[in-house]
Structure 1
Amino acid sequence: MNFINFLNNILWSYVLIVVLIASGLYFTFKLKFANLTQIKEMFKVMLEKGSGKGVSPFQAFCISAGSKVGTGSLAGVALAISVGGPGSVFWMWILALVAGSLSLVENTLAQIYKKKEDGIFVGGPAYYMELGMKKKGLGIAFSILITITYGFIFNAVQANTITVAFKHAYGIEQIYGAIILTVLTGIIIWGGASRIAKVSEVIVPIMGALYLIVAIFIILKNISELPRVMSLILTNAFTTQAATGGTLGVVIMEGIKRGLFSNEAGMGSTPNAGASASTTHPFKQGLVQTLGVYVTTLAICSATAFIILFSGVLETTNHKGIELTQSAMTAELGVFGRIFLISCIFLFAFSSVIGNYFYGIVNIAYTEKKALVIPFKILALAMVFWGSMKDAPSVWAMADLFMAFMALFNIYAITKLRKPAIESIHHYLKERKAGKNPVFTKDVLSNSSGIECWDDKGEISL
């Protein structure tokens, strides 16, 4: 753990923050601020029907949102505030707005370089590294990295949050939660990708909407305190002291670290879900997946932050992580708040387990080693059980380390492949400005090498 913490300190203090902000600003300017000006278009495109028999854009959105709207939105925000202070929330917002351009690019590339396998579209960083960059070795390395990160480590974090939360709320020992959670996960993952899409499509919108409704109620209930809380966030964002007595760097680092865990922009995870969608233009799915970044951070994470800061528990308890959020909700809504939040924790984190498994299985498919599927499922369940039993600091530290590696790998790739992504996005914006429904063909790009699922008529149907 000392070695993991040492690596995390180097990566997050000196490397990843610079890489994320610099690359995010670069693509924001190159895409003419499309990540900020096309929000209305994001909602419109998300509700379109798919162009074929594949996963619809909305289902792909729900799979990726299922992964994002999890412990990062509840435990991660609380952890950032308890360690970095209220100002960490401001840096979460900044990351989401800037890194939205990374999401546009990575998901557009996933659509351009997707493949057809076993009657579905598959894709993601491993695929665009191979087909676009002509670096299969790099693709294999990334597929192994994301499989370990999501299939094993992130699922351990999600499972840990569930069992810790139930222990804090009702005194239920973690071993019992571990058994129940492992069994439920096994039932879902043995149902295949279609069941994952259907479960996510139902769970994510309902749980997200209910959580936001309760958060809005709490905000309205404390509306007179809103100016004070906003002032607290903005003031602390630029002060030299974090909640733990650290420097301004700790405030920024905690905000960006937990923001990335929550919205995953630039990490190379959501393109695995984005590539599965059937659509008429790659940029459409870039828009859909980027909406998920904003919904997660600007809505769900902000809701959690406001609940904590309105409640006043930050000054009266020593809780960190999910226990802090639970204390805040109970302080605001009493017994109802405790019951409601424990339900949200279970649904949020469990949907993340489902989404994380999907990312892992897609990258197992990339290795073309079908014999690994069953062992992967077994190990994924084992990690759910293991994470349910472990202490929170160790699983979060491991998650931070692997998250940093993934982001560095993926941002390198999308920077190298910036030309086809930018050409595709500019084509979409030009066609939409002319009043047309943009249809992508491979001759839109100056170099169509490596493209398999698009021809001179558009997307090849399943």
Structure 2
Amino acid sequence: MGDIIVSFSNWIWGTPILILLLGGGSYFFIHSGFIPFRKMGHAVRLLSGKYDDDLAPGQITSKQALFAAIASTVGLGNISGVAIALNMGGPGAIFWMWVAAFVGMATKFYTCSLAIMYRGHDSAGEVQGGPMYVIDTAMGKKWKFMSYIFCIAGVIGLLAIFQANQLTAVLQAVILEPDTMEETVRNRWIIGVILMLMTAVVILGGIKRIAAVASALVPFMVGIYFFTVLIIVVQYFGDIPEMLKLIFVDAFTGNAVMGGAVGSVIIVGARRAAFSNEAGIGTAPMVHGQSKNSEPIREGLIAMLGPFIDTVVVCTLTALAILLTGVWETTENDGVKLTLSAFEIGIPGIGKYLLMISVLVFALSTMFTYSYYGHKCMNYLFGADKADYYNYFYLATIVMGAVVSLEVVVSLVDGMYAIMAFPNMIAAIYLAPKVKAASKDYFARIKERNLR
């Protein structure tokens, strides 16, 4: 079964998904008039809350929605995923992660604008947003099958098994250091149960509690990680230009790992970027669709900041730590253990503990938010009265994720992500003219207001 999952994931993450995410994102990037570059400042100003409308439909503020979306994306994909990218694709994969991030910003602008523009209602009458409701509301019944495909893949792909797996690995390596296989297995079960209980306290309180916790965790976790990596970067400051040169050169040669297979380096970078910032996958529209916002373009602009913070900032920090310390060439470690090696070399003695704190906060924040995404998919498929059952299934799989193989876990999640991307991106491309028209109207009104 594991071999089938890995083979399927490798197949679906070939040329079609690359064209869909990078090609579709590039289309949005150009179609929007390069909005990630032109309107970044305006998007940042919107976070002040000056334009919030408490009377608008929805459950949380736009800022809370952004932090909840970042909580789900700034996670182990930024620590473990970057290490996997460097291992599989070499330094050049980081460049293609950056490219994927900027086109991903345009993608999130479109998909999250649509999440407000075309909201729907669940079986309990609650306002809901997300790709499934966009498809239903804007595209009609003949496209409804895409909503089902998205939600079925979401119920499986949005489990926290990857986070549980990698968090368990780092806790074992840093704190427990088991001597035998029996101890390793026992420890994994114990850690899995503890993680399940910690997650249950938050997710059983619903989206308002999840958003409140995410709003508190996100600034703290990004800040502590930035400070920790800065300590490493300062020590190797003189080597930074050489490492940046290596990233750019290897992006177009693939010499470091793939023996000149540039296409493979691009695929690795795009795949890890999608896993990290989830642009095009359809998760962020589900939480941004719950914002108390009646301006779709405003929500899209705020959502656009997610991939920049996640991939351009946090993933680059991890890449620099791994490249500057040289562990990507001198160790056989993979995933989070490779990043752990970099921190141990960069900050001897306490580096591994600082990383452990970051991993713990990153993983838990992701695990809290993913439960909400899966809950929404369950709600759509089976109704609001059945959706809460998903939380118990989700919690049980955290324990499972703590004890299974990394390759199978990553492949299962990647495969489901790819399936979710197809209906989400097809709907966004189909409805792109609607976003373009709304964007022109929004900025015309902003300009008129400023001229008064």
Normalised TM-score (structure 2) = 0.92
1:89-142, Cα deviation, whole Å (9 max, x unpaired): 000000011221111000000011124666964200000000011133322332
Deviation at 1:81, TM superposition (A): 0.3
The answer to whether residue 111 in structure 2 is matched with residue 106 in structure 1 is yes
1:360 to 350, 360, 374: 374
Report the residue type matching 2:339 in the other structure.
T
Which residue of structure 2 lines up, in the alignment, with residue 52 of structure 1?
54
Query: Structure 2: which amino acid aligns with 1:213?
Result: F
Of the three residues 96, 103, 122, the one matched with 1:91 is 96
Amino acid at match of 1:76: G
- Name which of 131, 139, 148 aligns with 1:140: 148
Instruction: Determine which of 109, 128, 136 is the counterpart of 2:134.
Output: 128
Q: Which moved more, 1:368-377 or 1:85-94?
A: 368-377
- Contact kept in structure 1, 2:149 and 2:420, CA below 8 Å: no
Shift in alpha-carbon separation, 1:277–1:252, aligned structure 2, 3 A: same
Q: Residues 359, 383 of structure 1: CA spacing in aligned structure 2 closer, same or farther, 3 A cutoff? A: same
Q: How does 1:39-438 map to 2 (within 5 A)?
A: 39-48=40-49, 50-52=52-54, 54-115=59-120, 121-134=127-140, 135-150=143-158, 152=159, 155-170=160-175, 171=177, 173-241=187-255, 243=257, 245=259, 247-367=261-381, 369-436=383-450
Distance (whole Å) between structure 2 residues aligned to residue 249 and residue 12 of structure 1: 12
Larger mean CA deviation between 48-57 and 191-200 belongs to: 48-57
1:425 is displaced (CA, Å) by: 1.6
Cα offset, 1:65, TM superposition: 0.5
Give identity over the alignment, percent.
29
Counterpart code for 2:130 = G
- Structure 2: unaligned runs, 5 residues or longer: 179-186
The separation in 2 between residues aligned to 1:191 and 1:77, in whole angstroms, is: 32
Deviates more, 1:292-301 or 1:37-46: 37-46
Equivalent position of 1:450 in the other structure:
none
SS of residue matched to 1:367: helix
Q: 2:153, 2:14 → 1: CA distance?
A: 22
Contact 2:231 2:347 in 1 (8 A): no
**Which residue identity does 2:171 align to in structure 1?**
F
Deviation by residue 1:160-200 (Cα, 9 ceiling, x = unmatched): 11101111222262122111001111111111211101110
Q: Secondary structure at the match of 1:320?
A: coil
* C-alpha distance after superposition, 1:3-58 (max 9, x if no partner): 33333333222211122222112111211111221111111112215311531111
Code of the residue aligned with 1:41 in structure 2: it is: H
Deviation at 1:436, TM superposition (A): 4.8
Q: Structure 1 counterpart of 2:428, which letter?
A: I
- Pairwise CA RMSD of aligned residues? 1.8
Amino acid at match of 1:90: F
Local SS of the residue matching 2:348:
helix
Q: Secondary structure at the match of 2:13?
A: helix
- Native 8 Å contact 1:242 1:251 kept in 2: no
Taking structure 1 as the reference length, what is the TM-score of the superposition? Answer: 0.90
Contact 1:13/1:249 (8 A) holds in 2: no
Structure-2 separation of matches of 1:246 and 1:377: 45
C-alpha displacement of 1:246: 7.2
C-alpha spacing 1:24/1:128, structure 2 compared with 1 (3 Å): same
Q: Distance in 2 between matches of 1:226 and 1:235?
A: 14
8 Å CA contact 1:31–1:426 kept in 2: the answer is no
Q: 1:107 aligns to what SS in structure 2?
A: helix
Q: Does the 8 Å CA contact 1:8/1:400 hold for their aligned counterparts?
A: yes
CA distance in 2, matches of 1:131, 1:295: 31
Distance between the aligned counterparts of 2:323 and 2:421, measured in 1?
Answer: 30
CA distance in 1, matches of 2:286, 2:198: 23
The 8 Å contact of residues 151 and 420 in structure 2, kept in 1 or not, is answered as: no
- Report the more deviating stretch, 220-229 or 317-326: 220-229
Secondary structure, counterpart of 1:434 in structure 2: helix
Residue type of the partner of 2:136? E
- Is contact 1:156–1:395 with CA below 8 Å preserved after alignment? yes
Aligned partner of 2:5 in structure 1 is: 4
> Aligned to 1:265, what secondary structure does the other structure show?
coil
Contact 2:287 2:373 in 1 (8 A): yes
Return 356-365 or 230-239, whichever deviates more.
356-365
For residues 324 and 254 of structure 2, the distance between their equivalents in structure 1, rounded to whole angstroms, comes to 23
Structure 1 position 280, deviation (Å): 4.0
Q: SS of 1:237's equivalent?
A: helix
Cα distance change, pair 364–8 in 1 and its aligned pair in 2 (3 A): closer
Q: How far apart are the structure 1 equivalents of 2:125 and 2:73?
A: 26
Q: Which moved more, 1:279-288 or 1:110-119?
A: 110-119
The whole-number CA distance in structure 2 between the counterparts of 1:242 and 1:10 is 24
* SS of alignment partner, residue 304 of structure 1: helix
Q: Are the counterparts in 1 of residues 166 and 336 from structure 2 also a CA contact under 8 Å?
A: yes
Amino acid across the alignment from 1:144: I
Contact 2:376 2:387 in 1 (8 A): no
Q: In the aligned structure 1, how far is the partner of 2:127 from the partner of 2:42?
A: 24
